[in-house]
Structure 1
Amino acid sequence: MSSFIEFFSDIIAGELDIYVITFTLVASMVILLFLSFPMVVPLAVGALIGLIHFSGIDTGVVIQQMITGISPNALIAVPMFILAADIMTRGHTANNLLGLIQAFIGHLRGGLPITACISCTLFGSVSGSTQATVVSVGQIMRPRLLQAGYKDSFVMALIINASDIAFLIPPSIGLILYGTLANTSVGELFIAGIGPGILLAIMFSAYCYFYSVLQGDSITLVEKASFKERVTAFKKALIPLGFPALIVGGIYSGAVTPTEAASFSVLYAIIVECFVYRQLGLKDVIDAALSTGLITAVVFILVGMGQAFSWYISFEQIPQDLLAPLNLEDASKEYILFVIALSFFVGCMFVDSLVVLVILTPIFVPIVDAAGLDPVLVGVMITLQMAIGSATPPFGCDIFTAIAIFNKPYMEVIRGTLPFILILFTMSALLIFFPDIALLLRDLAFSD
């Protein structure tokens, strides 16, 4: 007991090596996580360790840093997009978008899984949430794919990984938070995420086609839709397609900011689901608002505590000391992007992606600035790693969402994920060596 007290006395006196302080910080957070404390608690403990170590600093600094973390105006868009997604998830939007895709390509070889992939991409442009996409598209498409003869392991892996495109296609909550943390234009990030998102959807679709060809006659093709059915499907989906047009078109043209687009998206969602489709009533909108309030509170508390934690590790210069052996200051841009991608991928495998974003972004921002890397490219790369981590064992959040809605065991859900993860890794490599995949549209949209 006396040695334990002496150890913390050394922390207070500031006499311990930075690596010992770092080990204490990490060990404390890991232990709290294994004890099932919510992530906010380990982050708070990290910040408090800083106050103990720097005993002369006013304890009000933690509160100040928390307020600073949630003060940026860009964060106003977060609850708005969450609310719009919740309203549309409860209504007919997902079903109508899916019906449009299936009417045109569902009868082709690999048409059904490609329909699921493109539907995830389109619904991602509506919801900005991978988990909402898993629930909405997965509940509709999984029974159809199973009936057509596809293996359940392939179906679940497809839905989990295709839903991750929602991280890249605007409105992406991850891009908004990165833009806030790295002081980067959210509008530019939104436009830059479109290219990689579309390319990823194409790569997944190609895999679905070849997988279906290899399965041969075990796959049953659905009946080709008539011209009348296609026209009907198009009419039903025309209004939901206005949602991504409102966001992307508005930002691309400069008519609205991302925050204004978020506000319009809520109004659009209410008009579509309550007055056009007449699917939802006042009670449904209130329930969606209450759910949004709960989710937003969790996100903002996380961001606030993350800011306090980031302040501490920056004050201690822990990032500089830990990254010094990697010699990133003199490294190539490709090597720096690789290190960033690897760090975020590993982190997101074990911890919620938003937590990793809040913790690691302030560590790499100075390195990115010093290397002359485009912060928009880095933001897209980081968001892609968040997408990969959310579908990767052991703790990808989309995996547990699928377990809950499909009522399947863990090992069965992750069995078919490897090919999709390899495709996502390929996408990461392409971004490192061909950055114009992300930056071309951004440069076109925001060129002087």
Structure 2
Amino acid sequence: MTGLMLGAMVALLLLGFPMMIPLIAGAFIAFFAFLPVPPEIMVQQMIAGIRPSALVAVPMFILAADIITKGHSADRLIDLVMRSFGHVRGGLGVTTAASCALFGAVSGSTQATVVAIGGPLRPKLLDAGYKDSFALALIVNASDIAMLIPPSIAMIVYGVISGASISELFIAGVGPGLLILLLFSIYCYIYAVRHDIPVAPRASWASWFQALRGALWPLGFPLIVVGGIYGGIFSPTEAASVCVAYALLLEFVIFRSLKLPDLVEVAKSTGLITAVVFILVGAGAAFSWAISFAQIPQQVIAAVGLDGAGAVTVLIAISIAFFIGCMFVDPIVVILVLTPIFAPLVEQAGIDPVLVGVIITLQVAIGSATPPFGCDIFTAIAIFKRPYVDVVRGTPPFIAMLFAVSAALIAFPQIALFLRDLAFR
């Protein structure tokens, strides 16, 4: 059964079918050929997969991200960070990384961050003397921070699949995200010193306060998400709805950057992305139920010798599996397929599911920016019109730093869990 399912899925992928088709095909083979259950159970499991109320947050956060990406919020955030760090050595690189972190607190999407931050900042990096390979690699890899800083669509999907608290996952992602930002900033400083990148003039206090005043409204997004959830004002799902209302208020009323026809286009974009996500989630739910019913996770664990493994070994195995998976397949698909496989090991080893969720989110973020098929790489190729080799040439130092953060998380879980424990324990 396992060989036939995997063979069919790989064959369909090689033939160019979108990932939802191999997932549905794998579940179809299991339900109709091997499992002693009525075939209509497959449809029931697909519907059950998209039924959790927490998934309502996904289209809401996607819609909010689409609105602010099309509007002026990203430009105002970039202007504030530029005036704060532009005068230090490597300040423009630091600005890029910090802008990705701030925008991540608004959008929760790595690909939206590549588009919104990379578009205006890549020309500035090139004009300042940075190599294009460095600029592209920095933009693509710094977008990983957006997947860790709340809100995070990957964390929502993991929380629904695993049953872990989405609120706890959100706050636990802040520590690793800030650590990545620190390492990238240090590397930008070293790069600027080695390549003698000129330093921009220091912004006056008057211009800094002007930029701060302009960015105050967009800075309300992380306040809504983090402050609202952990202040007990509303749930993550309600926070997503409030973010949409806030984005509409900013871009249509306060900034007046969008008109009613723009909202129609934004709604179409959000609807398309949401449809793809929910089809994947539904297909993944059926596939996960099928492999769990057939006890395939237990067979895989026994086959690779992980049965009875300790917490560190399990976390290393999870990191490797999710990283490799996201080098080839969309992150949401990898989370849907692999999370149920490792669930028995996580429970057996007594590992905190929130820590597992943060590590998984980091690994899928790294894989999304890693050759050969990381989705953020192809987003950059499409946006910046650069060849594949140019986009990936400068990635190794950034990937090494991201691996270092992964190792640090396994060795020192409190990097992720300190804020979680502070807020919820």
| TM score, norm. by length of structure 2 | 0.98
Question: Counterpart in 1 of 2:352?
Answer: 374
1:148/1:220 contact within 8 Å kept = yes
Match of 1:54 among 34, 42, 45: 34
Question: Counterpart in 1 of 2:264?
Answer: 286
Aligned pairs for 1:135-174 (under 5 A) are 135-174=115-154
Shift in Å, 1:332: 1.6
Match of 1:73 among 47, 53, 66: 53
1:335-362 Cα deviation digits (max 9, x unpaired) = 1100011110111111111111100011
1:93/1:237 contact within 8 Å kept = yes
SS at match of 1:239: coil
Which residue identity does 1:136 align to in structure 2?
A
SS at match of 1:36: coil
Question: Counterpart in 1 of 2:398?
Answer: 420
Question: Counterpart in 2 of 1:190?
Answer: 170
2:71/2:251 contact within 8 Å kept = yes
- Separation in 1 of the partners of 2:27 and 2:375? 26
Question: Counterpart in 2 of 1:41?
Answer: 21
- Separation in 2 of the partners of 1:46 and 1:326? 22
1:168/1:380 contact within 8 Å kept = yes
Question: Counterpart in 1 of 2:110?
Answer: 130
Which residue identity does 2:392 align to in structure 1?
I
- Give the greater-gyration-radius structure (CA): 1
Shift in Å, 1:287: 1.7
- Separation in 2 of the partners of 1:270 and 1:185? 28
Aligned pairs for 1:268-417 (under 5 A) are 268-417=246-395
2:80/2:211 contact within 8 Å kept = yes
SS at match of 2:143: helix
Shift in Å, 1:326: 3.9
2:175/2:419 contact within 8 Å kept = yes
1:233-259 Cα deviation digits (max 9, x unpaired) = 000111100110110011111211100
Which residue identity does 1:180 align to in structure 2?
V
1:122-181 Cα deviation digits (max 9, x unpaired) = 001101000010011001100001000000000000000001111100110000000000
Question: Counterpart in 1 of 2:420?
Answer: 442
Which residue identity does 2:74 align to in structure 1?
A
SS at match of 2:216: helix
| TM score, norm. by length of structure 1 | 0.93
Aligned pairs for 1:100-139 (under 5 A) are 100-139=80-119
Shift in Å, 1:102: 0.7
Deviates more, 1:325-334 or 1:159-168: 325-334
Shift in Å, 1:56: 4.3
- Flag structure 1 segments of 5+ consecutive residues without an equivalent: 1-20
Match of 1:431 among 409, 413, 416: 409
Question: Counterpart in 2 of 1:31?
Answer: 11
Backbone CA RMSD of aligned residues: 1.0
Shift in Å, 1:428: 0.4
- Separation in 2 of the partners of 1:222 and 1:278? 31
Question: Counterpart in 1 of 2:192?
Answer: 212
- Separation in 2 of the partners of 1:251 and 1:350? 34
- Separation in 2 of the partners of 1:184 and 1:322? 23
Which residue identity does 2:78 align to in structure 1?
L
Question: Counterpart in 2 of 1:18?
Answer: none
2:229/2:235 contact within 8 Å kept = yes
- Flag structure 2 segments of 5+ consecutive residues without an equivalent: none
- Separation in 1 of the partners of 2:233 and 2:86? 36
- Separation in 1 of the partners of 2:355 and 2:37? 37
1:18-77 Cα deviation digits (max 9, x unpaired) = xxx222211111110111111111111101111233364211111001011001111000
Match of 1:201 among 181, 185, 188: 181
Aligned residues with identical type, % of pairs: 59
1:329/1:371 contact within 8 Å kept = no
